[in-house]
Structure formats: C-alpha cells, structure tokens
Amino acid sequence: MSPIRVKVDGGVAVLTLHRPGKHNAFTRDMGIALGEHYRAFDADDSIRAIVLTGTAPAFCAGADLGGGASTFDSPDAPEFSASPVFPPAYELRKPVIAAVNGHAIGIGLTLALQADIRIVADEGAYSVPQVRLGVIPDAASHWTLPRIAGMAAAAEIMLTGRRFRGPEAIRLGIASQSLPAAEVLPAALEMARDIATNVAPMSAALCKRLLWEGVSGGLDAAQTAQLETDLHHRVMGTADAAEGVRAMLERRTPRWSARVSEEWKPIR
C-alpha cells in the first residue's frame, strides 16, 4: 500500500500521508514518494496548487519509532539525509498548502513548515520534540521556523520540544488559520481552488520564489525592490497580464496561458 494517496481535481493536487494504522508516522519510503510527487506536479502545468494533508485523525505523528531505542542509531546508508523529502515544498513553483488536520509531531510539523501556507486543527497536538529524544530538529526547520515565526517563537518551540494546540500555533505565528479538524481540509481545498482558478501561474511561481528568497536572508530591501522591478519587466506585456485585467473588467474567470514548465527562468 502506497504511503501517499493522490487525488487531482480542477487544477489542485491533494497529497495525503497515508499510514492510518500508524497515525501516518513518517518513513523513508514516504519521504521518497512525497518527493517524487512533488517533482511530477511541479512539472505539470495543469496543476496550479498542491494540498498536503494526512489520513484522519492525524496529519503525521512524526518519525516511525518502530525500531524502539535503536530508531536513531547511527545511519549506515550513505544517502541518509535529515531532509528526506526532495525537493522540499518551498522549492516548488506551485503554492503548497499544508492542511494539518490533526496531530503533527516532529517531522510531521517540520514538513508542514516547508509549505507556503498552513491551516491547523484546533484540537491537534503540535511539537518539534527532537531535543527530548536526544536528536535535533530536521527538514531544514532551523531555517524555516525562525523565518516563519521569528527567532523567539522558534527557540521556544525547538528548545523546549513542548506540545501546543491549534490556537497557540496561531499565536506563535506558524499557521494562518486554526479550525475544527473536520473543517481543515475543506478550507485548504477552497483556498487551493481559488488559487488554481484566479491566480496567474507564472505570477504565483515568481511571487513564491521571491518570498522564499527574501526570507532566506540573501536579499535586503533594495535588492528585493530591484528584483520586483526586474520581474515586473518579465510579466508586464505578457498575454496573462492583459488577460487578468480583461477578466476582471468583464467579471469572468481568467483563462491563463503561461506555461511555467516551458517559460520558467531563475529570478536571479
């Protein structure tokens, strides 16, 4: 049985972590499969947004601890990586929404931190508890979390390893919405469908890349402003720039024509 379930509808791809008997506990095979789907959907122009969720009632309970005390033995595989999903969601050119519909512990939460937008469940339990297990946080969370939530919140979450619920995830700045668990996926799908329909795919790809480049610390305000100007030159005068205005004035759904897979160029 595949550890990832896939559903595509209306330009939205839904990837569901699926190990229901283990609360979707993360395995190497799950990471490989997730990366493969990410790559495939990033190259598919018919996919405009991606939703990552888990088979209820959990999102992902963290690493599979079936190995007991030997779970975190020294890795003997040369390909071992503490970032086991490649590419990470923040490197994709499509918006990725994490519909965190239940508990997200350890790598369950650090994977969600790689998404662009997070919606969490009120009653879910969330933590990055690796320091309580004798190891350290993973999935580039030492980079994502301080940039999403700020250094103070990141230090509290990562250095204590404590658990918190959905409303506190909002206070800590790691999610944009906290809803009853049953409403999380529908809300994420509504947002994804809106993006898939109304957001120009090249505009989304460029905006996302500029957002993550900015938070990486590699750009100051002046450099960001210059890149915004450069990217305006790239999109202004295109068919989609005309179509977006035309569709708004005519009060109809836009018909986007840019093909990110063929027309993409690095932003710098």
Residue 71 has pLDDT above 70, yes or no: no
CATH 3.90.226.10, the chain: domain bounds: 4-195
**CA separation for the pair 45, 116 (Å, rounded):** 19
**CA separation for the pair 147, 159 (Å, rounded):** 16
What per-residue confidence (pLDDT) applies to 64?
Answer: 82
pTM: 0.94
What per-residue confidence (pLDDT) applies to 215?
Answer: 73
Work out the pLDDT band at 164, boundaries 50, 70, 90.
Answer: very high
Residue 137 has pLDDT above 70, yes or no: yes
Is 230:211 a contact under the CB 8 Å cutoff? no
Q: What is the pLDDT of residues 91-111, one digit of tens each?
A: 999 999 999 999 999 999 999
Question: CATH says 200-263 is which class?
Answer: mainly alpha
Name the nearest CA neighbour of 109 among 183, 54, 184, 187: 54
Residues written for the chain: 268
Residue 73 has pLDDT above 70, yes or no: no
Average model confidence (pLDDT) for the chain?
94
H-state helical runs in the chain:
28-42, 107-112, 141-149, 151-160, 166-172, 181-198, 201-215, 221-235, 239-249, 260-263
3-class secondary structure, 218? coil
What per-residue confidence (pLDDT) applies to 68?
Answer: 63
Question: CATH says 4-195 is which class?
Answer: alpha beta
Q: What is the pLDDT of residues 23-39, one digit of tens each?
A: 999 999 999 999 999 99
* Amino acid symbol at 168: E
Q: What is the pLDDT of residues 3-17, one digit of tens each?
A: 999 999 999 999 999
* Mean pLDDT, residues 78-94: 90
3-class secondary structure, 175? coil
* Amino acid symbol at 125: A
What per-residue confidence (pLDDT) applies to 74?
Answer: 63
* Amino acid symbol at 129: P
Q: Residue 19 region, left (φ>0) first, then alpha (ψ -120 to 50), else beta?
A: beta
**CA separation for the pair 53, 1 (Å, rounded):** 17
Name the nearest CA neighbour of 213 among 230, 194, 238, 191: 230
CATH 1.10.12.10, the chain: domain bounds: 200-263
CB < 8 Å & 24+ apart, contacts of 134-138: 134/72, 135/72, 137/106, 137/110, 138/82, 138/83, 138/84, 138/106, 138/107, 138/110
Name the nearest CA neighbour of 102 among 61, 65, 63: 61
